[in-house]
Structure 1
Amino acid sequence: MGLLSWTVGLPLQPVRGVVALARVIQRQAEQEAYSAQSVRRQLEALDEQDMTEEQRREAMRAITASRITPAKPAEPPERAGDEQ
């Protein structure tokens, strides 16, 4: 059965490769977005910009709030007694 499943599955290999690559890219993007170094770099970049103190505070709030709060909602935990 190995030869048959290999022959049938062969056309799907490029799709599986793209899906695997997309997962790696997503993982790296999330790691970069939520890393402390990334937040620190963005906050340091604010010091180089010419803006009022109120604009600076608002930008700092936006940077820290978007990084501290996850982008996707947490999935609800599955309860053991809900199966029917």
Structure 2
Amino acid sequence: MGLLGEVLLLPAAPLRGTWWVLEQVVAQAERQYHDPAAVRRELAALVAALEAGEMEEAEFDRREDELLARLASGRRPR
């Protein structure tokens, strides 16, 4: 893009900057969401809650399935 294009788009610079920041935040959130270490920590916390009697087995099974699906989706090539 040439100098003229940059000058014409200058009023939109704050929006473009905000959009870039939002893209970076979303990318980081997705990395953390699919991080295998984070999923394993959550699974360990679920097991501890089940063993302590803080959670019913049906709830444990549902949440465990969600975490395992998250772990599997993080391993798929994009």
Scaled by the length of structure 1, the TM-score of the pair is: 0.65
Percent identity (aligned) = 26
Q: Does 1:57 align with 2:53?
A: no
For these two proteins, the number of residue pairs brought into alignment is: 70
Structure 2 alignment gaps of length 5 or more: none
Give distance in 1, aligned partners of 2:36 and 2:21: 25
Q: Which runs of 4+ in 1 moved over 6 A?
A: none
2: CA distance between counterparts of 1:45 and 1:65? Answer: 17
Which of 1 and 2 has higher RCO (CA within 8 Å, sep 6+)? 2
Q: RMSD over aligned Cα, in angstroms?
A: 2.2
Letter of the aligned partner of 1:44 in structure 2? A
TM-score (norm 2): 0.69
Q: Which has the larger radius of gyration?
A: 1
